[in-house]
Chains A and B, each alone.
Chain A
């Protein structure tokens, strides 16, 4: 079980970093950066290109690739995104869709669809008793943790974090105080993109850069951000690292808990927004459903831990129902709903499989 846990943690490292970048961008810009996973791929490819063409070692590209891809992100922001901030976030979603379609483009032509090999910069591993841990993967987990915490603590502690939070809430007033909000926004987008690229560079030795590497992750990354509470940075980190897969009730517990915490913190802000007063009612009922989810999840976890034979399928079904009821509320993006429902179905199915029930 610990082996599984550790493997999950390693995979979680990437999810956490990617969703962190996405959450930062969404929280600040209210734009769903659909190119996020393409930028992850770009990070890996920048590292690969630098290595094959310029002989730049891994450690240098760990710094350079995010910078380059981040700069590219800044360009996107200045030329394109800036023009649509006043619109609904679905437009941002549509706009960032186009760079994602490059699984047909120049990248597979260059490297073929099976992927570009990248040598492991820290070969070898240690035997931990319950599993054999490749050293590089251990490094990845630590690096991801460091990066995530380094990004999270400024946004909750320092002056810059205060600027970001205030600018998200009332950008006009912050601008009236003399703070250059447009530049703050541009840099935030660049940072989010750089984080994705960093994850890509870290992934290169493990995942063999292919054009589709981002696509495989994108669905789960979006699920992580949505569960963690859109715009909530800590939520994304925790959910990214947290339990996934064969843990139906635990998943419910985690997501409900995070949702509840996030609603408490942000519910007042949602209620403040003029013209979106309907959110306040939804927040209350969402909170109640979140509490119910919490109860179901807690109950399920208790049952599992105590070893009582349980009909996990029933718990899963209950959780699924509650979750769809929650996400079906109007005002939440239909994208999030549909996608999250799909994710839930996946977990539900895999849990059933784990229990040996009919697929």
Chain B
């Protein structure tokens, strides 16, 4: 089973369970390896989730749901996180917050595979990125350089970025 290899997936539509409250959603994915964050650590990272811990999962705002979806997979001990369009439909302020969180996760040692339409967001936080159009890789770059790819941004159908954290 893929999850047991230590790969965790955060789906594009977030996949929050409406029949579970926030805390149940957080506790649902089983721990497959040691080294995941504890529930308290997740609440420290996302204090607004702690406030709403008894709320029904789908009653949260889009940004909060995204944080819940990311927080959910942090507990499992997985080291490779697959994030599918985490900033989709979110306000710029929240997008910034998500970016900060991903950077924090990077410093904690998670390896993150990020699929994003938002070129600026992605290149700002990625160590390496690949630009994909119609299923073909048309460009790649290292680091947060934006200048060269800027003109291509309007024609993009999607870009894939990798951020490699330290492996503990």
Indicate whether A126 reaches chain B with its CB closer than 8 angstroms.
no
Query: Chain B residue with minimal CB distance to A174?
Result: B28
Indicate whether B15 reaches chain A with its CB closer than 8 angstroms.
yes
A177 contacts which chain B residues (CB < 8 A)?
3, 8, 28-30, 73, 76
User: A173-B11, A176-B2 in contact; A166/B28 too (CB < 8 A)?
Assistant: yes
User: A162-B24, A173-B11, A268-B58 in contact; A178/B18 too (CB < 8 A)?
Assistant: no
Tell me if A's interface is mostly helix, strand, loop or mixed: helix
Q: What is the minimal beta-carbon distance from B53 to any residue of chain A, in angstroms?
A: 14
Report the bound CA distance from A162 to B29 in whole Å: 11
Report the bound CA distance from A269 to B1 in whole Å: 28
Contact of A162 among B4, B20, B76 (CB under 8 A): B20
Are A178 and B20 closer than 8 Å at their CB atoms? Answer: no
Report the bound CA distance from A165 to B15 in whole Å: 13
Indicate whether A168 reaches chain B with its CB closer than 8 angstroms.
yes
Report the bound CA distance from A162 to B24 in whole Å: 7
B24 contacts which chain A residues (CB < 8 A)?
162
Indicate whether A152 reaches chain B with its CB closer than 8 angstroms.
no
Report the bound CA distance from A176 to B82 in whole Å: 12
A176 contacts which chain B residues (CB < 8 A)?
2-3, 9
Report the bound CA distance from A159 to B19 in whole Å: 13
Query: Chain A residue with minimal CB distance to B14?
Result: A173
Interface size class of B (residues with CB under 8 A): 20 to 34
Are A159 and B27 closer than 8 Å at their CB atoms? Answer: yes
Report the bound CA distance from A169 to B20 in whole Å: 10
Report the bound CA distance from A179 to B28 in whole Å: 9
Q: What is the minimal beta-carbon distance from B15 to any residue of chain A, in angstroms?
A: 5
Q: What is the minimal beta-carbon distance from B10 to any residue of chain A, in angstroms?
A: 10
The 0/1 profile, CB within 8 Å of A marked 1, for residues 25-55 of chain B is 0011110100000000000000000000000
A170 contacts which chain B residues (CB < 8 A)?
15, 17
Most buried by B among A159, A168, A173: A173
Are A178 and B4 closer than 8 Å at their CB atoms? Answer: yes
Most buried by B among A169, A170, A178, A272: A178
B2 contacts which chain A residues (CB < 8 A)?
176, 178
Q: What is the minimal beta-carbon distance from B166 to any residue of chain A, in angstroms?
A: 25
Indicate whether A136 reaches chain B with its CB closer than 8 angstroms.
no
B3 contacts which chain A residues (CB < 8 A)?
176-178
Report the bound CA distance from A129 to B156 in whole Å: 83
Report the bound CA distance from A174 to B15 in whole Å: 9
Q: What is the minimal beta-carbon distance from A57 to any residue of chain B, in angstroms?
A: 41
A148-172: which residues lie under 8 A (CB-CB) from chain B? 159, 162-163, 165-166, 168-170
Are A166 and B32 closer than 8 Å at their CB atoms? Answer: no
Report the bound CA distance from A119 to B42 in whole Å: 59
B15 contacts which chain A residues (CB < 8 A)?
170, 173
Most buried by A among B4, B9, B28: B28
Most buried by A among B2, B3, B11, B15: B15
Report the bound CA distance from A176 to B1 in whole Å: 8
Query: Chain A residue with minimal CB distance to B21?
Result: A162
Q: What is the minimal beta-carbon distance from B62 to any residue of chain A, in angstroms?
A: 15
B73 contacts which chain A residues (CB < 8 A)?
177
Q: What is the minimal beta-carbon distance from A156 to any residue of chain B, in angstroms?
A: 10
Report the bound CA distance from A172 to B19 in whole Å: 16
Report the bound CA distance from A163 to B28 in whole Å: 7
Report the bound CA distance from A178 to B28 in whole Å: 10
Are A162 and B28 closer than 8 Å at their CB atoms? Answer: yes
Query: Chain A residue with minimal CB distance to B56?
Result: A268
Q: What is the minimal beta-carbon distance from B6 to any residue of chain A, in angstroms?
A: 10
Report the bound CA distance from A268 to B73 in whole Å: 25
* 8 contacts across the A-B interface (CB closer than 8 A): A162-B20, A165-B19, A166-B19, A166-B20, A170-B17, A177-B8, A178-B4, A272-B58
Q: Besides A173-B15, A178-B4, 17 other CB < 8 A contacts?
A: A162-B20, A162-B24, A165-B19, A165-B20, A166-B17, A169-B17, A169-B19, A170-B15, A176-B3, A177-B28, A178-B2, A178-B3, A178-B29, A178-B32, A178-B76, A179-B30, A272-B58
Across chains A and B, which 4 residue pairs bring their CB atoms closest together, nearest first?
A178-B3, A177-B29, A165-B19, A173-B15
